[in-house]
Structure 1
Amino acid sequence: MFNVLLVDDEANVLESMENLVPWADHGVGKVFKAASGAEALAVMEGNIIDIVISDINMPEMSGLELVKQIKDRWKRARCILLTGHADFEYARQAISHNIAGYLLKPISDDEIVASLQMVTEQIRLEVNEENTYQRAVQALRENLPRLRGELLFGLLQGSRMSPEKLVRRMELLELEIKEKDSFALMLIRLEEELTDYDYQSMSLLEYAIGNMAEEIFGDRFQLWTTKDLHDYMVFVVTVKDGKKLDSDDSLLQRLAAQLQQSVKHYLKSKISVLNSRWGHFPSELAPQYQKAVCAFRSQIGSEREMFTSMTGDDASQSEVGSLLRLYELPLLHHLLEAGNWQAVEKKLDSVLEELDEKWVRSKEYIVTTFFSLYSSFGQFAHKSRIELSEIIGSDLVGTDDLLPARSVQALRRWAHQTLGKIREHSELVTASSRDTTIKRIQDFVQQNLNGDVSLQKIADDLGTHPVHVSRVYKLEKGENLSEYITRLKMEKAAHLLMASTDKIYEISLELGYLNPNYFIKVFKKYYGLTPQDYRQRR
């Protein structure tokens, strides 16, 4: 709740502002009054004041002088000035003092409410932004190693992002690797007896190995690490000054061997280690990683406590013969689950483009892609509690005769037709879900019209977020939820005025308006007549 200070040397103006404006309805907890600038400063010294509404033309200390002192001493306070002078010089001075609002007398309570709402919203936004920023900075610091690892994991799996976006991410995570910097990969496998460890013990062991690696490599190299899909610890090794020397090859081998021995001696654990050859960041990162994984499998395999480096033959092998875009992150079924149809289309086109460029004559690769796409589509359907054939129809199933896998062109046609059917079904489900939400919102409002029908209360009843409630209602009905609530209240008020002998203040209370004057104002704004005038038409 906000605290407001009203300042005016005319007592009747103070009383009018205090009594006519429904302060509590607009988030104001306490309203303080002062008849002069000096009295206002005394109130400020003894209380926390968020908003000051002050007349400009006051004896002894003008409103502008008061605001200047307030801004010097209470920088977070917001000030709204009232004046009978439509004078540019007053407005210019007000602006120079960073005034939140500037109103000309005579003013209506509507104008005060409008300025109050604007200022309170500004305060809320600033507080939220400041709190959000501080929480974000703290969270970033606390989760920096994890966030770095997640970025590296994605890059190893072939995730794509623009060079500009990658640079921003690297800077945010305080990673000093630059484009075209030389790097080598070091893959570490903790040997099989370590699978007996629980998750916490394994995490501590990996943490200890990471710290040990930093100590051993730290004089010459910097490390960036993550855990991959194979449970390998993967280290990206770069030279600290960015200039790789010929001697760094042999140094890297010696330090990796030293790490293996140190883990065995100090941590009483066994690891196998593979060092890759050098590449250039980031273009060669994912291909180099794929080659390193293959080399680990071929050179080390199931043997334990091995140390090896990729040979020239390993490094010169052609790119791994797999459908890279099909398996790179984000996977197709993840995009489908998110309902990101534009990204799904882009992913599908990318997969089919690679297939057309590299494997257009390979029946095996086309069939593999077909079954992978079918699996993703099927998984999406099953999570929606429906069989895929019920969504796309028997004509598009295609698993019996494999007609969609006859060629890349046939596969492309099938994939886009199937995706179109899935998207159409998903959008129908979404529309049905929204209809249900709208009905629940309207039922709640109608049943609680004389009680608390705030956005938060409605959201709590639905078990969702207020922003979601507001946006869904606006999207589906074309009006704000607050407009719908006001319309229902005014229609009920009109009915009670014509069909009952209840007093106006009684009708006001029945509709949830604690301030009858505010109810009268809202009614007049809606119907163009006061409640009394409306009733007299009966």
Structure 2
Amino acid sequence: MSGHADYQLLLVDDEANVVDGLADTLPWHELGIAKVFKAYSGVEALEILKTNPVDILISDIRMPGMTGLELLARVRRSWKKIKCILLSGHAEFAYAQQAIAHETYDYLLKPVGDEEIMAKVGGAIKALSEERDETRFRQRMARAFQESLPKLRGELLNELLQGLKYAPDRLTDKLESLKLNIAHDESFALMLVRLEGHLPKLDFYSLSLMEYAVANMAEELFKDSFRLWNCKSVHGYLVFVVTVPEEKRETFGSPEHFARTAEGELQQKAAQLQLSVSHYLKGSASVLMNKWGAFPHDVKRLYEDVLMALRRQVGNESELFVEVSGNPAQPPVRSLQRLHEPPMLVHLLESGNFDLAREKLTAVWEELNQNWANSPEHVLEVFFSVYASFSSFAHKNGRELADVIGSALADVSGLMPGRSASSLYGWMFEALQLLRQSMENETRNDRDITVNQIKQFVQKHLVDDVSLQAIADDLYMHPVHVSRVFKLETGENLSDYVLRLKMELAASMLADPSLKSYEIALKLGYQNPNYFNKVFKKYYSLTPQEYRQKQGNGGEA
């Protein structure tokens, strides 16, 4: 059940029969060992190490000339990643333990059996594989993270603009990981830039370049006095969070002086940005500046204020510069916050997170019931939004909503669920539970199908290549997923299932007295008959010959 054979092993012992026996009789390829080197002294082992990329070294401790511990010390200085396994007898075991604890992957106590050696080497290969995967993963992730840093920063700001709530500690961690220097309760201003004229009509690539240019111009203009953090909002506008560095804040003096001086300088920089768009990009832009707020509590509020000012004071006009009032008049009717803030209900459903979907619906209903229970429009707003999310989720899974939650709950002709907050509550959670049950049933059915496909492949290729990788390749799945699904559904490891089938087939073949045990071993894919005999005995507690005799089919084994 190993992966591709690409590891190399070095065996070191002054007893040639020990080295040759281990190298030539054990099925190393089954562990992923591509090549086995043999050395009969420590000096010969060092020569091999200088010219070959060895991954695992097995050495006896007691050797003439250079001992195994001396060899180990040399290896540790020059080849730190090699996994070293020491062979020690009872006499030198206590002496070897101290070195083993600090420098050796593992040890084997003589006399040692083949299965024990295979198990130790298998463990070393697993450790090497994990180290390789972890190193490669970290390198890839570090590069990808640096390349994605602007995008990740923009995504976080967009989440805050839409009202996503973060626990303080978690938000601090995210800000630090994204290298954003802004603290809780720090003062900030919000600036919105709407590109106008020919700019919004550009193709996606050209528009992205223009937006990138605007952000760079802003950084250049503001850098002496302010820090900027920007994104393209879900409404298609460039939004900047503007803060003042600590060293610059001191030059603005008292809070009252800061408000006047910082705001004046900020407005001047924003006006310069507007002129730069016109001069360098040959386009136009409207710029809206908001008053100072506290981060992150006021991010969503200030963004909503600036959007309202854009609708009311700018509209379809262009090249306007608007300073948004710090206390805009609150409209008599307000929208539902929890319904439209991220994470959206449809996204929670699509990700299969039904627990969070239920929490989302609970929060929506609590806001509705507390503030707008007697507003038919708000009740219907929630109903239609939730109904659309449920329908979209059902359709993306290839089903009609009525097939999932039943025709009665899916029927909107009478709009009964949308007539009151209480009836809406019962409808939402009953429909959600039915959606969840439907998806869990489909998941179980899909797993059953996958397990049956695995079993069919194993049975068909039992005497050929039945490795985990071969099964995964045939099913177009990841090997880890194949293994976990099989274990989850059957309660049996896939490797144990393959072994069981092989041993049952071997037992049935032993009923034919004309077949010798080595012929059976070869038919089952075991190139080493001795190894087959050991596996068979471990499974049945009898050798093949003993099993045959017990079954009354005596013959030459």
TM-score range (shorter-chain normalised) is over 0.9
Q: Does residue 392 of the first structure (1) align with residue 402 of the second (2)?
A: no
Letter paired with 1:42:
E
94-103 or 137-146: bigger deviation: 94-103
**C-alpha separation in 2, matches of 1:86 and 1:286:** 74
RMSD: 1.8
Q: CA deviation at 1:90?
A: 2.5
Secondary structure of the residue that 1:499 maps to in structure 2?
coil
**What is residue 166 of structure 1 aligned with on the other side?**
171
Q: 1:249 aligns with which of 263, 278, 288?
A: 263
**What is residue 274 of structure 1 aligned with on the other side?**
288
Q: 2:377 aligns with which of 356, 364, 370?
A: 364
Q: 1:446 aligns with which of 455, 459, 470?
A: 459
Q: CA deviation at 1:257?
A: 0.5
Contact 1:67-1:97 within 8 A present in 2 as well: no
Q: CA deviation at 1:313?
A: 4.2
Q: Does residue 350 of the first structure (1) align with residue 363 of the second (2)?
A: yes
**C-alpha separation in 2, matches of 1:515 and 1:227:** 64
Q: 2:540 aligns with which of 509, 527, 530?
A: 527
**What is residue 422 of structure 1 aligned with on the other side?**
435
**What is residue 402 of structure 1 aligned with on the other side?**
415
Q: CA deviation at 1:110?
A: 0.7
State the structure with bigger RCO (CA 8 A, min sep 6), 1 or 2. Answer: 2
**C-alpha separation in 2, matches of 1:213 and 1:495:** 79
**What is residue 299 of structure 1 aligned with on the other side?**
313
Q: 1:375 aligns with which of 388, 392, 398?
A: 388
**C-alpha separation in 1, matches of 2:91 and 2:295:** 64
Secondary structure of the residue that 2:463 maps to in structure 1?
coil
Contact 2:394-2:401 within 8 A present in 1 as well: yes
**What is residue 141 of structure 1 aligned with on the other side?**
146
**C-alpha separation in 1, matches of 2:136 and 2:495:** 28
The C-alpha deviation readout for 1:116-154, integer Å capped at 9, x for no partner, is: 111111111111111111111111111111111111111
**What is residue 196 of structure 1 aligned with on the other side?**
201
Give TM-score, length-normalised by structure 1: 0.96
Contact 1:68-1:97 within 8 A present in 2 as well: no
Q: 2:512 aligns with which of 492, 499, 503?
A: 499
**What is residue 207 of structure 1 aligned with on the other side?**
212
**C-alpha separation in 2, matches of 1:86 and 1:271:** 85
Q: CA deviation at 1:533?
A: 2.2
Contact 1:56-1:62 within 8 A present in 2 as well: yes
**What is residue 471 of structure 1 aligned with on the other side?**
484
365-374 or 251-260: bigger deviation: 365-374
466-475 or 85-94: bigger deviation: 85-94
**What is residue 255 of structure 2 aligned with on the other side?**
none
**C-alpha separation in 1, matches of 2:62 and 2:366:** 74
**C-alpha separation in 1, matches of 2:332 and 2:16:** 85
Contact 1:86-1:104 within 8 A present in 2 as well: no
Q: Does residue 462 of the first structure (1) align with residue 475 of the second (2)?
A: yes
**C-alpha separation in 2, matches of 1:390 and 1:511:** 49
Contact 2:194-2:238 within 8 A present in 1 as well: yes
Secondary structure of the residue that 1:102 maps to in structure 2?
strand
**What is residue 425 of structure 2 aligned with on the other side?**
412
112-121 or 354-363: bigger deviation: 354-363
**C-alpha separation in 1, matches of 2:332 and 2:462:** 67
Q: How many residues align?
A: 537
Q: Does residue 309 of the first structure (1) align with residue 314 of the second (2)?
A: no
Contact 1:179-1:281 within 8 A present in 2 as well: yes
Secondary structure of the residue that 2:103 maps to in structure 1?
coil
Q: Does residue 80 of the first structure (1) align with residue 94 of the second (2)?
A: no
Letter paired with 1:104:
L
The C-alpha deviation readout for 1:419-452, integer Å capped at 9, x for no partner, is: 1111111111111111111111111111111211
Give TM-score, length-normalised by structure 2: 0.93
404-413 or 266-275: bigger deviation: 404-413
Which 5+ residue runs of structure 1 have no aligned equivalent? none
The C-alpha deviation readout for 1:180-239, integer Å capped at 9, x for no partner, is: 111111111111522331111111111111111000001111111111122101111111
Contact 2:197-2:284 within 8 A present in 1 as well: no
Q: Does residue 57 of the first structure (1) align with residue 66 of the second (2)?
A: no
158-167 or 482-491: bigger deviation: 158-167
The C-alpha deviation readout for 1:156-195, integer Å capped at 9, x for no partner, is: 1112222111111111111111111111111111115223
Contact 1:11-1:35 within 8 A present in 2 as well: yes
The C-alpha deviation readout for 1:20-50, integer Å capped at 9, x for no partner, is: 3211111111111122222222221222211
Contact 2:198-2:283 within 8 A present in 1 as well: no
